[in-house]
Amino acid sequence: PEPEPEPEPEPEHTTHMCSTNPGPSRQPRCDVSDDDDDDDSWTYMVLGVIIGLAIYNQVILDVRFPLAVYSKLLGKKLKGLKDLKQSFPELAKGLQTLLDTQNVQELGLNFEVTRGSKNFALIEGGGSVLVTDENKQQFVDKYADWVLNKSVERQFNALKRGFLRVCGKREGYRAHALALVSADELEKLICGSPVLDFNALQDSVRYVGFSNASNDSTSDENELAREKDVVKYFWQCFNTFTYEQKKKLLKFVTGSDRLPIRGVSELNMVVQSGGDNPSNLPSAHTCFNTLILPRYRTYEQLCSKLLKTLEFAEGFGLN
């Protein structure tokens, strides 16, 4: 009799990042590609995925990358002082000074960069090539290329690979939507807008749990007046804040000191009644952009508690 055919191996079930091994154990595994020799490549790739998911879910991240990173994510080739100046203005200024200097060879520079205990040649045999007036432009161009590209090539490639797993070109589409944005716009999509209109913020806030907001005719009139006073006290205190204190409050409530790219109307900030316990400090639900305010009895009490909260609040961040 013919031998029974061997069963076909069970297919792997995969996502963009992880898969389950075939077989009865079905142990999960999360692998990086073969070219990720260094441990931190996986970290950079995951960071790229997080950034892509933040755009997809319209979540603002508290990250601060040089503008060059966003340009490179969009596929722009960076080179020369012009691109270097956008992200590293002091370094670009120093290199421009070098270009403006005569008798550069007297400085004793060569075509080599030192980082930590390692030396990196900008050209072949760069350690023995002296920088002179004749080749200083080449030195500056090579130095800029090393800073913007070669020195971070492995880490950036991992970051971009993760980012494009979420925001990259999809089958059936001629181009991905990010081809329509600039580096500045991509930064605002990820980090939000640094332009803060606090007057518009006050007009857009929604109030929850305050009886006067729902026109509850059965509530005690004194109670209604006190709840109304809490809202009034809050904005009076807020309007005495410095610009930095207002940014601290915004970060305490939302997790970021920036606004969505489409403005304050996208923030949907909520001020919610926190009950009748004025000994409590204000609190926040950052996932829902909600500030919880107990029913404080006086302006001084509310402002003191709010300032103390902002001074000692730590919150969450991406470091």
* Number of other residues whose CB lies within 10 A of the CB of residue 221: 9
- The tokens for 307 are 């300032």
Rounded alpha-carbon distances, angstroms, from residue 57 to 54, 162, 176, 189, 246: 5, 16, 16, 11, 26
In sequence order, what DSSP letters do the residues of 158-181 get, joined into one string?
HHHHHHHHHHS--TT-SS-GGGGS
Number of H helices, E strands in the chain: 11, 9
Cα separation, 283 vs 314, in Å, equals 12
**Residue 287 bears catalytic tag:** yes
Pairing verdict, β 118-121 and 112-115: antiparallel
Rounded Cα distance between 86 and 93, Å, is: 11
**Angle at the Cα of 195 (from 192 to 201), degrees rounded to 5?**
90
Query: What is the C-alpha separation between 170 and 88, in angstroms, rounded?
Result: 34
Which pair of structure tokens corresponds to residue 8?
């076909």
- DSSP letter at 132 equals -
- Its sign, for the CA torsion 34, 36, 39, 45, is negative
What backbone phi and psi angles, to 5 degrees, belong to 37?
Answer: -75, -30
Strands 270-273 and 290-293: parallel
Catalytic center residues: 287
